[in-house]
Every structure is written in C-alpha cells, then in structure tokens.
Amino acid sequence: MNRKMQDMTILITMETNNRSNANLIEENKIETDITIKYNNKITDETKILENEQLVQELEEQIWLLEVVASKQSKEVSEITIKDLKDIREVSINSTSIPNNSVIPKIIGRFKSLKSIKVNGDESSCNLYYPLNTFQTNGNLVRISKEIGKCINLEEVNFSFNNLKYLPKELFRIENITKLNLSSTALKRIDGITSEICNLKNLTHLYLSSTYIDINDVKSLAFLENLQVLDIASNMIVGDIKEVCDNIKVSEKLYMHINSFYGNGKYLLNYDDSVTIYCHSNLIYFSNEDVVKFEQYNEREKDKNYGYREFARNIYNNRFAKYKNNKSTSKIANINKDITIKKGSNINEIYSLYKEGIRVLNYYLEVEHLDNKVFREKIPYKINIKNTELFNESGIAIKDGIAKIEVKYDDEAILLCG
C-alpha cells in the first residue's frame, strides 16, 4: 500500500444473517464507502479508519467497531483509540457476524476490557459422530494472540463457535475467573485443555460438548478455586473415583450425559452444599447411597444442601422416590443359566457370559449406546463364584451351573446370578 496516498477508498463488504440489525445492515449485504486519510501517528484521538496500521490491525472485522460504536453512541467512522481503551464489555451474538470471523489484532488495544462474549446459541453437536462433523451456528473461528494484552479480562465466552484456533496468550491472563468454551469442539485444538490449568483464579469453567476425555478432566485438578464446573455431554469414559479424587468444586458440578462408571459412593465426598448433576452415566449406586442422595433433594429449601440428580445410572433394586430421579439403568444377562460341562474351559464361560450382558433402561429396553460402551470400554469384572467346579488350569472337573456376578469393585455388585 502506498503510504504517500493522501486518501483512498476502501470498499467494505459484510455478510450477515441477522436481520435484526437493520439500522446497520440492509438485507444481507452492505457496501460502505469510507474515505481514509492516513495519519501514521497514533494518539488517543486517532480515528481507527484513518490510520493505516490500525486498519491492518482491524483485519476487516468491521463488526467489532460496530459493537464499540453502539456502546459509545457514535458512527463507526468516528471511533478512536480512546473509545477502544474505554470499552469494558464486548458482547454480540456470533450468529450476527460474518462467516469465518475472527477476534482481530486490534483487540489488544482494548485496555479496560473486562468481559468479552462473542458466542452463538445452538449446535448440531452429536458426540456419537466423529469430531470433524461438529458444527455450531456461531461464526467465530479464531482469536488473535493480541488478546493476551487485555490483562483486565475477567469473563470470556466464546461458546457455540467453530473455533479452529485459541492463542496460548489467552490463558496467561491471570484475572480471568469465568471461561465458557462449551460447544466449541475444543479437543481439536492441540494442548488447550492443559493451557486452561494456567488460569489459577478460575471460578466458573464450562466445557460441555467439547469432546474432552478423562485425561483432560484429571488435568483440571490444578484449578483449586472452582465454584462451578460443567463437563457434561462429552461421552467421557472414566472411573467416577478419578473425578472425585481430582476435581474440586464448591457450588455446582455438571457431569451428566457421559460414560462415567464405578461406585457412586465417591460423589458423597463432596460438601453437602454442592449441587451435582450426574444423571445419564453408568455409575453404580447401592441401596444405601440412593437413600443418601434422595435426602439431599428432600432438603432442597435448605441452602446447606445442594440438589443431586442421579437418574439413569445403575442401581441394585431400590428405585428413587422422586420423579426426576426415577428412571434407572440395570445390568441383565440373556444367558442367565450357563451350564458347565465337565472338561469346559473357564475362559469359554467368561466369554459366553460377557456376550450376554445387556444394559437395560427404565422400561427394560436395551440401551444400544450404553450397551456398546459398557461392553467394550468399561472395566467391569466377571467373577465365577463356584470356582470349585474348576481345577487350577481352569478346566471344569464336573458338570454344574455357573454362579456369576458382575462387579465394578469389591463393593459394587452390578449383577449376581
């Protein structure tokens, strides 16, 4: 670009799907002619669109200037460096900005910025499909590393966007206490979950529908000030004990719609005041623990007790009393009575029993997804109790009926027959 040019006309084309911004955009496209008189010296009074360097930093993201102009009650062409410095909040639905939008380099000049919310509101997220199929309706795809200069940032919300890049500099801002990256397919951005752990002052962290796994969850153990953690809807396969041993929260834990397994007694280690949503997993609850969890919900008006929702997990025979926790999953076996013939190999009995295991829902119907996850990924144990039928080599020494139980550990007996 020729710096000696005294003026230049830039044609800015902006696509949008948001017809509600009719005062800024006519139909789905606007074309605006802005005359730029370049002034290379940058002061507080420098107008953004009259300085070559600032125009380059803007990276054609006029929507960001429109947000500032709306806050400052100015025309876009009148926005100055001082206006950027004074802005404390940027908030816009990312469905109303052009496709493949970015948070541009100029964000580093928003020195007073405390809150940035550029989020969509809907996703076609289906965690049973591969990561590369993930789509949301937000149009933000990248954030400039210059955001690291916004050292006063406290709240960040980029949820429901098809993010392809997040800078490490974002996770060096010590003042951030609230971070929402839900429905962003975060897992496809290498190393980001470990970077989150640098935000030691986080109190609210939302990571639902991000494809994180149990190792990502365990890495969050370094966050010791969490009040609210949302890791729901990720199909995480992992022992519930690993979550309870590593994750510290003081108010709310959302971990529903995953494939956590193991003994639900560990959830009772959280403080009585913590609200826990752990429904739709493969967690085992003994009769005694069902009673204890129900007692929390009987005290819902007592602020010292949080709400506990634990439906659609695995129980022995005691059903919860209240509607929200009524539905349950059960383990059954279509090969109930397995006859042992003299000379049979014990491994054959194990295989036959394993093939017959089914996860049933409240209506005693086979839960196909839970069944697949349970059979292929959950480390349950199958024990043959009448081992006297076999010799040391595992060969049956006489005929009989196998007495078998399925367990998570020494206490959690899922099925006994």
Residue of 273, 277, 216, 282 whose CA lies nearest to 247: 216
Whether residue 11 is predicted with pLDDT greater than 50 in this model: the reply is no
Asked if 255 and 195 sit in the same domain, the reply is: yes
What is the per-residue pLDDT for 31? 40
What is the per-residue pLDDT for 310? 85
Cα separation values, 75 from 60, 83, 117, Å: 17, 12, 22
Alpha helices in 207-344 (DSSP H): 214-219, 240-246, 287-298
Exposure string (b/e) for 205-218, b if CB count within 10 Å is 16 or more? bbbbbbbbebebbe
pLDDT in tens, 272-302: 999 999 988 999 988 888 888 888 777 767 7
Whether residue 390 is predicted with pLDDT greater than 90 in this model: the reply is yes
Percent of the chain clearing pLDDT 70 (strictly above) = 84
Domain that holds residue 398: 330-416
Give the least confident one: 122-126, 233-237, 258-262, 350-354. 122-126
Rounded average pLDDT over 42-54: 95
The token pair at 330 is 């059960």
The count of domains in the chain is 3
Whether residue 214 is predicted with pLDDT greater than 50 in this model: the reply is yes
Residue given tokens 């004074």 in the structure block: 86
What is the per-residue pLDDT for 193? 84
The token pair at 320 is 């919860």
Whether residue 307 is predicted with pLDDT greater than 90 in this model: the reply is no
Q: Within a 10 A sphere around the Cβ of 20, how many other Cβ atoms? A: 10
255 vs 308: which has the higher pLDDT: 255
Asked if 63 and 80 sit in the same domain, the reply is: no
Q: Which of 21, 42, 72 is the last residue of a domain?
A: 72
Query: What pLDDT band is residue 17 in, cutting at 50, 70 and 90?
Result: very low
Q: Which of 72, 107, 134 is the last residue of a domain?
A: 72
Asked if 317 and 214 sit in the same domain, the reply is: yes
Asked if 304 and 263 sit in the same domain, the reply is: yes
pLDDT in tens, 73-102: 999 999 999 999 999 999 999 999 999 999
**Residue 191 near residue 170 (C-beta atoms within 8 A):** no
What is the per-residue pLDDT for 371? 83
**Neighbouring-strand partners of residue 227:** none
Residue given tokens 């009769």 in the structure block: 287
Asked if 152 and 129 sit in the same domain, the reply is: yes
Residues 6+ apart with CB under 8 A from 339: 399, 400, 401, 402
Exposure string (b/e) for 381-400, b if CB count within 10 Å is 16 or more? ebebeeeebbeeeeebeeeb
Q: What is this structure's pTM?
A: 0.85
Burial of 23 (0-12, 13-18, 19+ CB in 10 A): exposed
Asked if 86 and 108 sit in the same domain, the reply is: yes
pLDDT in tens, 130-183: 556 667 889 999 999 999 999 999 999 999 998 888 999 999 999 999 999 999
Asked if 231 and 89 sit in the same domain, the reply is: yes
Tell how far CA 341 is from the center of its chain: 50
Give the least confident one: 146-150, 176-180, 217-221, 360-364. 360-364
The token pair at 338 is 């397995």
Alpha helices in 222-367 (DSSP H): 240-246, 287-298, 346-356
What is the average pLDDT score of the chain? 84
Q: Which of 34, 54, 72 is the last residue of a domain?
A: 72
Q: Are strands 404-407 and 381-384 parallel, antiparallel or unpaired?
A: antiparallel
Asked if 122 and 249 sit in the same domain, the reply is: yes
Cα separation values, 72 from 75, 88, 105, 115, 247, Å: 9, 11, 21, 16, 42
Query: What pLDDT band is residue 316 in, cutting at 50, 70 and 90?
Result: low
Give the least confident one: 147-151, 236-240, 304-308, 390-394. 304-308
Residue of 58, 50, 54, 86 whose CA lies nearest to 71: 86
**Residue 62 near residue 70 (C-beta atoms within 8 A):** no
Asked if 251 and 380 sit in the same domain, the reply is: no
What is the per-residue pLDDT for 261? 94
Rounded average pLDDT over 210-238: 93
What is the per-residue pLDDT for 129? 57
What is the per-residue pLDDT for 131? 58
Asked if 249 and 155 sit in the same domain, the reply is: yes
Asked if 316 and 344 sit in the same domain, the reply is: no
Residue of 389, 329, 386 whose CA lies nearest to 359: 329
**Residue 198 near residue 167 (C-beta atoms within 8 A):** no
Residue 297: CATH number of its domain: 3.80.10.10
Rg over CA atoms, the chain:
28
Residues 6+ apart with CB under 8 A from 23: none
Whether residue 415 is predicted with pLDDT greater than 90 in this model: the reply is no
**Spatial separation of the C-alpha atoms in residues 60 and 55, rounded to whole Å:** 7
Asked if 225 and 151 sit in the same domain, the reply is: yes
